[in-house]
Structure formats: C-alpha cells, structure tokens
Amino acid sequence: MRIAEIFYSVQGEGSLVGMPSVFVRTSGCNLRCVWCDTPYTSWEPEGEEYNPAAIVAEVERHPAKHVVVTGGEPMIAPEIVELTGRLRATGRHITIETAGTIFAPVQCDLMSISPKLANSTPEGRWAAQHERLRLQPKVLKRLMEHCDYQLKFVIAAAEDTAEVEHLVFELGADRTKVILMPEGVDPGVLRERGLWLAEICKMSGFRFSPRLHVDLYGNRRGI
C-alpha cells in the first residue's frame, strides 16, 4: 500500500486531542476537497510502497500506545484490513480517520469520521465525482455501528452548521459525538473562526475541536 508518511506526534483534533500517537498516512483519496490540507495524498498523491508488516515495524519504533491510520482515504488502501489486524495484535489503540464514503471491516477502537460538507466541493473536472460521493448516509451508519465513533465536521462559515444538523438528524447521531472544527491552516484564521464556532457549540451542544497541530507547529508535513 502507498504511504505518504509515518510520524510520531500528538493528536491535533477530536476527542483524543493531545494524545501522543503514531500517524500512518496512506496516499490516495476518492475525494478532492477544495481546502484539502494534505494535497500530497489527494490532488497530487505521493508516497512509497510499504507492506503491512513494514508499517507495523515502523510504528513499533515509537513508544505511543495510540496509532492513527489516516490519509488520504485509508479505507480505499489495499491491505487496510490486514494492516489494522496487525496493529491490533500489538495491543495499540487504533483510530481510523475517514471521510466515511467507503466501508471496510477494519479493526479499530475509534472510527473518526469526517463527512464532507458542501463547502468542500471544488470547481473543475473533480466537482461532479466529489459531489456525488461526499455524503453516503448508509456507509456512515455502517461505520458508526462498527465501533465507537466521532463525527468531525470542518466548518468554514456559520451557515455550514445547517447541513450538519440535517445530517445528524438523518443519522440519529449522538450529539456529544459530533465535533466541529474551524476550517483553515493559518493560526490566525483558526482563532478568528474558532471564536464564533465555540459560540455555536455552546448553543448546539456539539463539541468544539481546535487544530492543535497547526497551533503548535504551523501548517507543515510530518507533525
């Protein structure tokens, strides 16, 4: 499977924010978000071929008890089921970060699902495929039933939350597992958007998530 990077850092988003974790980032994605913060896994995918045993050996070089399999879209990676099975055998806590458009019977402790809202749709030749694939309620339900989950949404404008409310209702999701994050890769933009987004969370009961890795390290790879 093609891997863009494997690195040791702290989880920057969601319910496990701050947790020391090894990140395994697969390369390749079926979506093309206009604001994608890892274009080297989607718009211009890069990476080297690894087999699952080699990935696990790399993960084991680090002391973390948590591993995050992310992308790109890890659910489309060949051997993703074998990889998560091998990671499970090491006793680590496994988070899968997915956009929730495809199901695979992976081993995991936290299904971190980030359904893509209309604010993600690009212009140009990818627009139609992205728009057709970005929300798959049946797949989302199956992923939510597979293991513990969180639903993480990227919010660029206050109006985006109407689409979140609609989807949460359709899925019957637990509101305490719904997490809103400001869109942006610049600490100043994240702070400005974070202030009004926190107020929305206070009113709606959804959780707020920072993008801690951007605050700590800036918008860089391998962090």
Nearer to ligand SF4, 121 or 204 (CB): 121
Nearer to ligand SF4, 97 or 173 (CB): 97
CB of 56 to ligand SF4, least distance (A): 23
> Footprint of ligand SF4 on this chain (CB under 6 A)?
29, 31-33, 36, 38, 41-42, 71-73, 99
Nearer to ligand SF4, 8 or 43 (CB): 43
CB of 70 to ligand SF4, least distance (A): 8
CB of 60 to ligand SF4, least distance (A): 26
Nearer to ligand SF4, 86 or 155 (CB): 155
CB of 36 to ligand SF4, least distance (A): 3
Nearer to ligand SF4, 86 or 106 (CB): 106
CB of 32 to ligand SF4, least distance (A): 5
Instruction: Kindly tell me the sign of the dihedral angle through the C-alpha atoms of 67, 109, 166, 29.
Output: positive
